[in-house]
Amino acid sequence: MIVSVKGPGLSCPRKDTYLQVISGDSLAALGIAMNKNLVLKPNYALYGSMLGLLILSTIFIMWMVRYCMTKGWFISEPSSRNYRNV
């Protein structure tokens, strides 16, 4: 959404339209020009840190699952082998 703030004493060019489709003409009417200094080079440090974080979090989750599956939880065996004996 592009919001154009007009100065004091100025008004919108057309009062009958509140929403406009973004086109080259509508942007030019608002005084918006094309910017030439776009980022064209990928940020390899960001990509590497995101990939490293993904790998480390996957390893940590797998380690926690392994730890929880092999941990002795010290749960005693039920004294009654058959639930109908209760």
Supply the mean pLDDT for the chain.
79
8-61 tens-digit pLDDT: 877 766 666 666 667 777 777 777 777 777 767 889 999 999 999 999 999 999
Tokens of 46: 């960001």
Tokens of 74: 């010290």
Q: What is the mean pLDDT of residues 69-78?
A: 78
Residues 31, 7: contact at Cβ < 8 Å? Answer: no
pLDDT at 67: 93
pLDDT at 75: 76
